[in-house]
Structure formats: structure tokens, C-alpha cells
Structure 1
Amino acid sequence: MTFTAFASVAAAIFTVFILFKFLRRSRVSNLPPAVPGLPLIGNLLQLKDKKPHRTFTKWAQIYGPIYTIKTGASTMVVLNSTSVAKEAMVAKYSSISNRKLSKALILLTSNKRMVAMSDYGEFHKMVKRYVMTSLLGANAQKRNSGIRETLINNVVKLLYSDLKDNPNDAVNLRKPFQAELFRLAMKQALNLEPESIYVEELGKELSKEEIFNVLVVDPMMGAIEVDWRDFFPYLRWVPNRTFEIKLKRMLMRRAAVMQVLITKRKNSKQSKEEISCYLDFLLSQSTLTDEEIMSLVWEEVIEASDTTLVTTEWAMFEISKNPNKQERLYREIQQVCGSEKVTDEHLSRMPYLNCVFHETLRRHSPVPIVPLRYAHEDTQIGGFNILAGSEIAINLYGCNMDKTQWDEPNEWKPERFMDSKYEQMDMFKTMAFGAGKRICAGSLQASSIACTAIGRLVQEFEWRLKEGEEANVVTVQLTNLKLEPMLAYIKPRSTNDVCF
């Protein structure tokens, strides 16, 4: 069949599909308001700036907290308030429990063979139980407290070292913190801390920084790659060579590095009974394929290396910009810790530090939009009828910038969480970790590392942004990672604490 014939058949199928959906929607009443768009492509051009969370929030001011948009062949229901978001994630969860992933994410997750990206079902429940038991649950966190403490100590030492070598320069917090988070992730996942590895498939020796790029940086960029065919599934047969070659190369490099690391760990084990990392535990269960094990171990590496960094860097940015709030936090640390260094054991007695953490999650949501789900059956959200097949986008940024819920939402005000109405909300204050059955498995570790790091960094140093740094708020495409690292001047609180 010629290309022209193929195109004609595809166009006919697409037209019938759109007509069917239009007729079905026309027979259903009480649908959410729809944002006007163009024929065929819908609202795609209005989202071309790659900051959809901001565009969604602007539309919410016009169309309300729940509305629909068209993204090519798909209808997306966008939720922009805490009440409708919680309804979707908790009350109506059974109707919208599955993930709707892009082509890039399907390949990156080995077709949803990860805790965070799997559909809710037996596999999801099994692997979430595995990760909580061996790595992220309360008991596992107690076992790994020494690794987290080493992380914070190393970051502080590196900052002191930078200060000694370049006393008049601003420091880059991201560089040591990112390196130490990656070290922790590798230790927990594989019980390895390699300075370099030789990857035969790539024909070269990779440094620690190159390993980080292959396992974390490149996949993060791959995850937000947009393939236009995701919006027009009936045209998926049309090639997109640039996208396919780029993603295939990235996946090959990731698999090659992960295989070397897994083999290295297997060869270093003293016995089959030895369990000292996540990989060991997964192998001991004898329930997973090699591909699933690789995907789950890689998930721990990338997730432990990313969102905690985003939150901590933004918190220190705001603290450095607000000397009065920084001083209030320092006084609390002095009162609770005295001459002791801040550890996670102190956190429950430091309410203002907890407020700093949650306000940073609110103002700078690490994941502005929850990975898409879809309704597999007709349901209702916010009093509106939601048709089966609709994609569900939960705009956390919009929820946390909602003026009807938050006073002066554009302002970073930790003290807002001192209000007694938030006491019982715990992790649900901003929904940064989700809600319901799919609440983030790593929430305990993320909050522990971030809060301890923030507390210790303020305990050790006075922080002040470099001149002009307040304008450095540009983020990386769909994420809230700062495009450029924060730069700040630091001054030791006490010369007795200096550990050069």
C-alpha cells in the first residue's frame, strides 16, 4: 500500500474516532467546562512553553478548579484544587487507579515495572511492600540512619573546605549535596560506592560523574521528551527518527551501566544469605525477572537522587533570601539541640523547621503535575461526570497556589503552617507526596534527609544570596529543578565549629 493510501486510511480512522467521541460526549450531561481549542490539535499550541502547570493554573481562574482540555485525540481532565485532587486520589481511586504514560516513560519504566509508575494491582502492591520492607519503611530507615548522617556530615565538610579555599566566593550547594545523595542512593540500592567502572558495551571507563549522568541526568531529560505521536496514537506508524534514536541510545547506555553495577554487587557478596542493600533483598525473593529487578533498582537510584535535592535547594534559596526567617529557625535549632548537631531524632521537636519544609513543598512543588492517570470507567469528580478513557492531570502547583485556600500563595511564609488547622494533616498539607493508596513510598526518607540537611546547614552557617541571585528562579521545563544552581555566601556560626 502506498504512503498516500496509508495516510487516507489513517485520516478516515481518526475522523471516525473523533466523531464517535463527540457524539458520546453530546449525550452525556453535566460535563466539566472545556477550554476552547483548535480542531484536531485541541489545546496543544497553548501548552508549547513546556510549563503546563502554570497555564493550567491560569485557566483555573477562568473555568474553575476542574475543566477539560483536548490534547490531540485525548480528553484530559485537569484538577486544580485540593478538594477535587483528594477526591480523585482517595475517594474515586478505584475508577482512576491506572497510569497514562508517554512513549518515553513506557520505555524508561520497562512498561510500568516500577513502584511509582505501575498500575495499581498485584504487581504494584508486591513491589511497594518490597521497597517499604527493605528500604523505605520506618524500620529500614532506622537501619540506614548512619548512611543519612554521613551524607549530611560530608556535605558540611565540603562546604567548609570550599570556604577555606575560596573565602570570598559564593558556594554552590547543589554540587556536594547532589554528589552525596547519589552516593547514598548507590549505597542503599547496590551497596556500592564506585569511583569508576569499565563498561565493555560502551568501550570505556566511566567516572562517578559519568555514571550519575547515565543513570540520573539523561533519563530525567528523556522522561520529559515529547513525542508528538503520543497525542495522535492513530498516527504512531509515522516515524519520528530523532526521538527514537535519542531514546534508544539513552536506554542502551542505562542498561549497560546497570548491568555492570548489578554484576559487580553479585560478585562482591560473601554469601547468598547476605542482605545489605535493595538488590540483595529483591534477589532473595525469587519472584521477579531480571528486567524487573534492574528497573526497580534503577528506580531507587534516580528517585533518591532527584526530588530531595529540588526541595532542599529551594528551601535554602528562600532561607538565604529571608534573614528574619533564617534567624527564627536558628533560634529554634539552638533551643532544641544546644551543642548537639541536628539529626533526624531532633526533628519532631522542631515545628518551625517542619513548617519550612512544607512551605517549600507548597511554593516549589518538586513534581508540579502528578504523572497522568486515566479513568477506566465512567465516574464523577467535583460533581461533574467524567467519561471513561479521560486522562486525569492533577496540577499540584495549581492546588498549592489556590488563593481560596492559601493566603498570599506567591509568598514563601513558613509560619502559615503554625496554624492549628494543619496539625492533623501531616504529609497531606501540600499533597507533594500524593495521597491515598499511591502515597509516595519515599516520603519518610525524603522528609528526613531534607529537614535534617536544612537544619544542619542553618546550624553551621549564616546564608546570604549572591548579588542578583534572587532573579535566578527559572526551572527546567516540566520540572521545578532550578535551571542554574543556587549561589550563596556562607559564614560559619562559630569559629569553634570550623572543621577544616
Structure 2
Amino acid sequence: MEAIQALPVGTVVAYGGPAIALGGLSLFFLRGYVNNHRNGWGSSNLPLPPEVPGVPIIGNLLQLKEKKPHNTFTKWAQTYGPVYSIKTGANKMVVLNTGDVAKEATVTRFQSISTRKLSNALRILTADKSMVAMSDYDEFHKTAKRHVLTNVLGPNAQKRHRIHRDTMIGNVVQQLHAFLKDHPFEAVNLRKIFASELFGLALKQALGKDVQSIHVEELGTTLSRDEIFKILVLDPMEGAIDVDWRDFFPYMKWFPNKSFENKIEQMHIRRLAVMKALIKEQKKRIASGEEINCYLDYLLSEAKTLSEKQIEMLLWESIIETSDTTLVTTEWAMYELAKDPERQNRLYREIQSVCGADKITEEKLCQSPYLAAVFHETLRKHSPVPIVPLRYVHEDTELGGYHIPAGSEIAINIHGCNMDNNVWEVPEEWMPERFLDRKYDSADLFKTMAFGGGKRVCAGALQASLISCTAIGRFVQEFEWRLTDGEEDNVDTLGLTTHKLHPMKAIIKSRN
């Protein structure tokens, strides 16, 4: 739903002829009538959510063509209220734009809304929900989440992997100092350095080592580290927002869309080939008797109920999620601080008062309330995942005082929740001080809904906060940051997560 590339009906007419198009329209109206009555639209004493006006057949698809639905959803909330419905082709979607109703959906009404609704692209790229974040809330989800918390993301696992995080932060700072020495008057691309080191951390946690190259027999080539990163991280993140028009008209799923299918299938095949090669290489190490504290070794010895495909997908999930969303938050935080010298200096003074001449470490984070406020305010204004992956209502329920019939899709617009004027004062402004107010519970990590809530709360919340807060603190402790001319207005975003369209460019100056 992130992009509307073509009118589905126009595609049908162009390729299938008028007869198929007319047949599809007839089927659409027939099914729409049957589904509306069967699914209970209007059968409850509670009112239905307000409906955003659209056009026949395609509904509101044309109004979402900007490819940033979270912005459009937020604008509509100002007119239609925090809960409303839209039509995306043949599908009815209820959009939630306020934190209270979002928490109602994720906690109180969870049993009615616990099933994932995936696009065709995500269905292929997740190997039909074979990963924690995109699976339904079933036994596989519970088992897989328990495994990833035990070995990678839980509190005890974070203690074991602490050395890798410290090494990563140290490497980034060292490279920044080296860049400043060699290019004292040039702007640094923080993303390029930080993304590479995050990927190295992800590989160490998943496989036990930072892989520099790998021979992939199925592809008949040896891949460099950058090529591995592209296949495992960049390509799937791009493919995840590709649109198959049949997602919006499921009764026409029989109609071919070969260009889309071939593109996504090739991404999937290449990714699995690389994962198999990486696992094969590490199995040689294990066979030699060398054991490492990593996710692969743990899964092979402890996850006896998982299939080979599921193990490949869970390993890949740990790599891509460590490599992406933490980068998004850290880069946006540094952008906001570089834009605002006064707040940057306030954070620097806090770090100095807490750490003195020592480098800030994870142990000091609990003594740094303003640093935590910077982190949470960045999550609020720049939500890494602005819309929660769609859920499917499998039984009649209610949300926000409205009747929600079975068969509806639920979109939780985190961006809209965090731009709610009824909750946040001047929400469009980046103001970390708001999180120092006593009305915010410091223990409520999920105030901004950035990590979801309820039984599906993000397993990586602890790791994300440890990495991002330590990195932000260390970058400000070591350097003064200033945006280059024109960079302040460069705030466009791209992708499934809200990456800056262009990497932040900043002039840095050593504080030593």
C-alpha cells in the first residue's frame, strides 16, 4: 500500500480486454454486496467508523498515490476523526490515529485482531510469515520470539553481546576521527559509516563473525561484503513496498503480473542463496568443534522443532532488523541535534556532568534523562515504522466506540498517533524537553507506540535503545555537529522505514 503504481482496472483493460474488465467489475459489485452484509457492516448497535469518500471500484487508492500513506492518514484524521475507514480497491480498512485506540487494538481487543495481513511482496519476502515480526500470533510466533529473546535480544543475551556493541560504537567514532583528520573541511556521511558497522554487529550476533566475502554456489559467484549487504538488507527493504495491484482486488488474483512476480521472486531466491551459503560456511566451523555465542549455533542446537527454511528466515530477520531501524532513529536524532546547537550543548553538558572525562557507556544511560528524552522524542517525530504492518479482524469487535466487522483490515498509523494535538503540544516540533515532564512515566517505553504494544511488542526494543542512546551520547561527547547549508530542509523520507531520502551531511569538530 506504500505505492500506487497503476490503476488496476486500466491494467486489466489494457491486457485483458473489455470483456474481462466488465466481468471483473460485475464480480466486484456482487462480492461487495455479499461481503458487506455477511461481514456485518451496519449490523451492530454501535456506529460504523466515518468513511473517507472515494470513487467507485478503486475507493481511495488515487488519494494515496504520494506513496506516504502515514501523512495522508494523519491529514484525514483532522477531518474524519481519529478512527475512520477507507476502501483500497475491494478491501475495507479501518485506520487508527490515536494512541488510546491503538493500545485498545493491540491489548484489549488483541484476540480479535491478532492476524497479519500481508501484501503479495511481503508474503514472498517473509516466506509466508516465517519470521517473528510478520507472523500470526500462533505457536510458531511464540516459539520463534522466545528463541530470539533468549539468544539475541533479551536482557541476558544483551549482556553476552555487549562486547560487540562496544566494539561497534568504538569503530564508528574511530572512523569519524579519521575522516575529520583527512577531510577537515568536508561534510561527513554518518549513515555510510554507521550502517556498515551495524551490519557487522548483526552478522556477529547471527553468525558469530563479520563476514567480508562469501562464495555463493547457487549464484555462481563470490560476493563482497557490500554485495551481501545489498542482497540481505537493501533489496528486501525496497521490495517490501512494491505493489501488486492484485492486493487490492483479490478476486482477480488469477490475472498474471509477471514483472512484479519475477522481481520479488528473484530477490527471495538471491537472499536465500546467500543465507544458505553463510550458514554452510559456519556449519564447517561448528563441525570442527569451534563454538561461538551466536544465534545460528543456538538455533541448530536448541530449536529442534524449526525447519531449515524457518531457521534461515529467523537468522535473516535478526540481521535485517538490527541493520535498519536503529540506523533510522540514530541518524534522525543526530540531524535534529546538528540543527539545534542549544539542545546539542545541553546534552553535552549532561554527559559531562555524568561521565566527566570518561566515555559514556550503557551503565550511564540511566543517569542521563535528557539523552533518553532525545531518543524518545526522535522516535515520536520520526517513527521508524510509521504504520504498523496491517492486521486482519477475524471476528466482530469494537474500537474507539465503533463497530468493526470481521473481515476488516486494521492500519495503526503510528505517525498519526504521534502527531495528535490532543496528546502532544506542538507535535510538529522536535522538543526533547516534553519527555522530562512528570506526566510522562519514565518506565513507559511505549508512550510513542514506536515499539508497538501488548503481546506483539517489539522484541528488539531493548537493543535499539541501548545502541541508539549510547551512539548518540558518544557522538555528541566526541564531536560538535553542524548541518551543511541546505541540509536543514532536506527532510524527505524513503522506504518501508522512514530513512532520510538523502543521508545526513554534517560538519564535525572534535571536542578534544
TM-score band, normalised by shorter chain: over 0.9
Deviation per residue, 1:320-340 (Å, 9 max, x gap): 000010010001000111111
Match of 2:432 in 1: 414
What is the 5 A alignment of 1:325-336?
325-336=343-354
Q: Kindly tell me: are residues 464 and 273 of structure 1, through their superposed partners in 2, closer, same or farther at Cα, counting changes over 3 Å?
A: closer
Equivalent of 1:444, from 462, 479, 498? 462
Q: Kindly tell me: are residues 424 and 463 of structure 1, through their superposed partners in 2, closer, same or farther at Cα, counting changes over 3 Å?
A: closer
Kindly indicate whether residue 323 of structure 2 is the aligned counterpart of residue 305 of structure 1. Answer: yes
What is the 5 A alignment of 1:161-180?
161-180=178-197
Kindly indicate whether residue 117 of structure 2 is the aligned counterpart of residue 100 of structure 1. Answer: yes
Equivalent-residue separation in structure 2 for 1:386 and 1:232 (angstroms) = 21
C-alpha contact (below 8 Å) 1:374/1:390 kept by paired residues = yes
Match of 2:403 in 1: 385
Q: Kindly tell me: are residues 4 and 58 of structure 1, through their superposed partners in 2, closer, same or farther at Cα, counting changes over 3 Å?
A: closer
Kindly indicate whether residue 243 of structure 2 is the aligned counterpart of residue 226 of structure 1. Answer: yes
Structure 1 position 7, deviation (Å): 5.8
Of 271-280 and 166-175, deviating more is 271-280
Kindly indicate whether residue 271 of structure 2 is the aligned counterpart of residue 254 of structure 1. Answer: yes
Match of 1:58 in 2: 75
CA RMSD in angstroms comes to 1.5
Equivalent-residue separation in structure 2 for 1:60 and 1:387 (angstroms) = 20
Q: Which amino acid aligns with 2:135?
A: S
Equivalent-residue separation in structure 1 for 2:36 and 2:115 (angstroms) = 24
Q: Kindly tell me: are residues 270 and 201 of structure 1, through their superposed partners in 2, closer, same or farther at Cα, counting changes over 3 Å?
A: closer
Equivalent-residue separation in structure 2 for 1:207 and 1:389 (angstroms) = 46
Of 13-22 and 253-262, deviating more is 13-22
Match of 2:139 in 1: 122
Q: Which amino acid aligns with 1:461?
A: F
Match of 2:89 in 1: 72
Partner secondary structure for residue 269 of structure 1: helix
Kindly indicate whether residue 41 of structure 2 is the aligned counterpart of residue 25 of structure 1. Answer: yes
Kindly indicate whether residue 360 of structure 2 is the aligned counterpart of residue 342 of structure 1. Answer: yes
C-alpha contact (below 8 Å) 1:52/1:478 kept by paired residues = no
What is the 5 A alignment of 1:345-364?
345-364=363-382
What is the 5 A alignment of 1:440-479?
440-479=458-497
Equivalent-residue separation in structure 2 for 1:424 and 1:360 (angstroms) = 16
Q: Which amino acid aligns with 1:83?
A: D
State the TM-score, normalized to the length of structure 2.
0.94
C-alpha contact (below 8 Å) 2:240/2:496 kept by paired residues = no
Partner secondary structure for residue 498 of structure 2: coil
Structure 1 position 245, deviation (Å): 1.2
Equivalent-residue separation in structure 2 for 1:416 and 1:388 (angstroms) = 39
Equivalent of 1:140, from 151, 154, 157? 157
Match of 1:83 in 2: 100
Q: Which amino acid aligns with 1:42?
A: G
Partner secondary structure for residue 185 of structure 2: coil
Kindly indicate whether residue 304 of structure 2 is the aligned counterpart of residue 286 of structure 1. Answer: yes
Kindly indicate whether residue 451 of structure 2 is the aligned counterpart of residue 433 of structure 1. Answer: yes
Q: Which amino acid aligns with 2:136?
A: D
Match of 1:489 in 2: 507
Q: How many residue pairs are counted as aligned between the two chains?
A: 493
Match of 1:204 in 2: 221
C-alpha contact (below 8 Å) 2:376/2:432 kept by paired residues = yes
Equivalent-residue separation in structure 1 for 2:118 and 2:264 (angstroms) = 15
C-alpha contact (below 8 Å) 1:105/1:223 kept by paired residues = yes
Partner secondary structure for residue 293 of structure 2: coil
Q: Which amino acid aligns with 2:223?
A: L
5+ residue gaps, structure 2, are 1-15
Equivalent-residue separation in structure 2 for 1:482 and 1:199 (angstroms) = 32
Q: Kindly tell me: are residues 200 and 368 of structure 1, through their superposed partners in 2, closer, same or farther at Cα, counting changes over 3 Å?
A: same
Structure 1 position 270, deviation (Å): 5.3
C-alpha contact (below 8 Å) 1:50/1:478 kept by paired residues = no
Partner secondary structure for residue 107 of structure 2: helix
Q: Which amino acid aligns with 2:483?
A: L
Q: Which amino acid aligns with 1:256?
A: A
Equivalent-residue separation in structure 2 for 1:232 and 1:277 (angstroms) = 43
Equivalent of 1:217, from 234, 239, 242? 234
Deviation per residue, 1:301-333 (Å, 9 max, x gap): 000000000000000000000001001000100
Of 411-420 and 4-13, deviating more is 4-13
Structure 1 position 283, deviation (Å): 1.1
State the TM-score, normalized to the length of structure 1.
0.96
Deviation per residue, 1:45-64 (Å, 9 max, x gap): 00011010000000000000
5+ residue gaps, structure 1, are 495-500
C-alpha contact (below 8 Å) 2:52/2:86 kept by paired residues = yes
Q: Which amino acid aligns with 1:25?
A: W
Structure 1 position 276, deviation (Å): 1.6
Match of 2:212 in 1: 195
Q: Which amino acid aligns with 2:504?
A: M
Q: Kindly tell me: are residues 210 and 109 of structure 1, through their superposed partners in 2, closer, same or farther at Cα, counting changes over 3 Å?
A: same
Equivalent of 2:385, from 367, 370, 373? 367
Of 7-16 and 163-172, deviating more is 7-16
Structure 1 position 259, deviation (Å): 0.6
Equivalent-residue separation in structure 1 for 2:96 and 2:87 (angstroms) = 14
C-alpha contact (below 8 Å) 1:321/1:464 kept by paired residues = yes
Partner secondary structure for residue 493 of structure 2: coil
Q: Kindly tell me: are residues 477 and 271 of structure 1, through their superposed partners in 2, closer, same or farther at Cα, counting changes over 3 Å?
A: closer
Equivalent-residue separation in structure 2 for 1:315 and 1:290 (angstroms) = 39
C-alpha contact (below 8 Å) 1:275/1:281 kept by paired residues = no
Partner secondary structure for residue 491 of structure 2: coil
Deviation per residue, 1:37-95 (Å, 9 max, x gap): 11111000000110100000000000000000000111000000011111001111111
Equivalent-residue separation in structure 2 for 1:370 and 1:8 (angstroms) = 35
Structure 1 position 5, deviation (Å): 7.1
C-alpha contact (below 8 Å) 1:343/1:452 kept by paired residues = yes
Q: Which amino acid aligns with 2:34?
A: F
Equivalent-residue separation in structure 2 for 1:420 and 1:401 (angstroms) = 20
C-alpha contact (below 8 Å) 2:396/2:404 kept by paired residues = yes
Percent identity of equivalent pairs: 62
Match of 1:497 in 2: none
Q: Which amino acid aligns with 2:41?
A: R
Structure 1 position 281, deviation (Å): 1.0
Equivalent-residue separation in structure 2 for 1:300 and 1:467 (angstroms) = 37
Of 20-29 and 46-55, deviating more is 20-29
